[in-house]
Amino acid sequence: MAKKDEKTVGYGAEDIVVLEGLEPVRKRPGMYIGSTGPEGLHHLIWEIFDNSRDEAMGGFADRIEVVLLPGNRVRVVDNGRGIPVDIHSKTKVSALETIMTTLHAGGKFEGESYKVSGGLHGVGASVVNALSVYTEVRVHRDGGIHMQEYERGKRKAAVKKIGTTKFRGTIVTFEPDELIFKEMGWNWNQIVNHLRQQAYLVKGLHIAILDAREYAGKLKLDNVVYFEDLSLEVPSMSFYFDGGLVSLVRFYNQHQKPIHKNICYVDKEVDGVQVEVAIQYIDDISSRELAFANNIYNMEGGTHVTGFRTALTRKINEYGRKNNFIKENEENFTADDVREGLTSAISVKMREIQFEGQTKGKLGSVEARSAVEKVFGEALGMFLEENPEDARAIVNKVIIALRARKAAKAAKDSVMRKGALEGLTLPGKLADCQTSKAEDSEVFIVEGDSAGGSSKQGRDRRTQAILPLKGKILNVERARLDRMLASVEIRSLVVAMGTGIGDIFDISKLRYHKIIIATDADVDGAHIRTLLLTLFYRYFKPVIEGGFIYIAQPPLYKIKKGKEITYVYSEAEKIAYLGKDVSLLEVVEEGEEEEFEGTEEEVAAEAEEKGKKREPKVSLQRYKGLGEMNPEELWETTMDPKRRILKQVRIEDAVDADKAFDVLMGEDVASRKSFIQSNAKMANIDA
């Protein structure tokens, strides 16, 4: 291929764009906060909070307050040392302005100011500043109050002293930029859950959260802290835990049945790495692993988790062989065996830390692995020796897991062999699509033969497959793989997906890139949908994480005005469409229609006016199930990609999602009842 003339290409030094100050952050915000969606928006709070929390981890603060204010503003307060305000020798402006307006500027790179840091090493505050339409920082330090304001990362004026104070600490108030974040609005529960978790991770730290979005007049914003007075008439929460990770494990096991009383716990420093681990086994088949590095939740794990798993497997095998739980000719427990039913929390704190990815989802520091393996291994070995009853319960639990694993593998292999021998690559009830390209294919999971028949006739055969399920599938929350695969409906779904299950799961073999749950709009339909989501979450989580699971939203009503037909998907939409005439309507039975011509006064008035045409008749049909619709209606409302409404299933907080499935689908009836009573007002009642 011939080279192009360099002069015509026009690529020289002058073509290299140099972004100054915080311009790179506004240009590519996703590089710094992960996304500009709800998660990225909340990440702004975490970054400012992390700076205050680092003060507490260094022993300089013990109180942090987060306040939600009107206009999407957030205020974060700590009683730490206060950001320095004197002139920086290199930048020739105050240290406060340097930190707030310069990337990679802060007190966490060198020196002894911070032994442990969880933030972006000075990047956090400046990134939040860059992505906020307004930021204000007030520093209470050395008896004076110093203040500076910013607009989209640029200072409005120099730092100035505005008064005297007897407090010390930093107050940061910011308002995210609507030009960056299209979806504004804070999630109270998400903030509370995140900050509660942080309180567990820093012993002795008081954290308060206030929701003053509708009560701003009741707060005196010139004060530093309000910890002593949470009696204000605003929604608030406060947290303080002395137990560290022991308290965290107890919190996540509060609705479970522990199989041993004592929690194995260690908090020790080795080779400059502070290691804290707590574990407890419960009567369940799922495992819960919470990993943190410098108080940052590592959703994808990392080197500290690898070290933990290695030590756990080795020590339990050593104890099992030493005490004759594992015979000489028997195989060792696997990592999966020893983790079944385990709730564990692993936290490391270290001065120099490396993460894989800007949002710190996975720890990459090599020294963390050896430190955790050494510290936890020694602690677990001692725990098993000193607590023989607990040790016996743990090993017996692992033996049950090993036997179940073997039984499940035999059942799975049997199912796979049987399917291959009979040539049943796909279940007979599946009406597959014509295309073999997974990215163009979608499968509708429907309930019953009636809905299956209508959807098979109304679909686009080229790209849409239909899999009808008979009745409610097995609740897999506490069912092992062998019992699951004995269910015809679950087996059909597994084979149709193509990914396999368990240790042979391979998401690259997924046959459909849209798996659409299409159940009826009644209680039974909601139950079936929940059972399916439990199955996907427990055994096909990568399919949810990949964005392949959807929920169809069929219409609630079909409204006919003369020859005009309109489908509406909610009560609010129905009221908006019908306007004043909605008071005349009643919800009709399945398949029936109600007709009306308006009020008596309106009809009489129309009759008096000669030549005036009467309003067309209006009929309303209430749908309860997909089987009621004919194929044309089903295509128009639920299956046509141009007009349908699909809700994508996402996991916003894996820990909370795991806990919710435990409560709702587990065996603890009292916890489930309490959850339902507490959240009853949030439910959509289908009367």
Do 76 and 218 meet the contact criterion of CB atoms below 8 Å apart?
no
Q: Are strands 514-518 and 442-447 parallel, antiparallel or unpaired?
A: parallel
- Which residue has 């040392």 as its token pair? 81
Do 116 and 350 meet the contact criterion of CB atoms below 8 Å apart?
yes
Class of residue 516 by CB neighbours under 10 A (exposed 0-12, middle 13-18, buried 19+): buried
Q: What's the rounded Cα separation, in Å, for the pair 21 and 243?
A: 43
Q: What backbone torsions phi and psi does residue 64 show, to the nearest 5 degrees?
A: -135, 140
Q: What's the rounded Cα separation, in Å, for the pair 622 and 610?
A: 36
Distance of CA 197 to the CA centre of its chain: 14
How many CB atoms within 10 Å of residue 669?
Answer: 8
30: region left, alpha or beta (phi > 0 left; psi from -120 to 50 alpha): alpha
Q: What's the rounded Cα separation, in Å, for the pair 317 and 327?
A: 11
**Token duo for residue 102:** 């310069």
Which residue type, as a one-letter code, is found at position 594? E
- Which residue has 């994808």 as its token pair? 300
Nearest to 667, CA basis, from 284, 173, 195: 284
Do 425 and 441 meet the contact criterion of CB atoms below 8 Å apart?
no
Q: What's the rounded Cα separation, in Å, for the pair 187 and 549?
A: 23
Catalytic residues: 447, 520, 522, 524
Helix, strand counts (H, E) of the chain? 22, 25
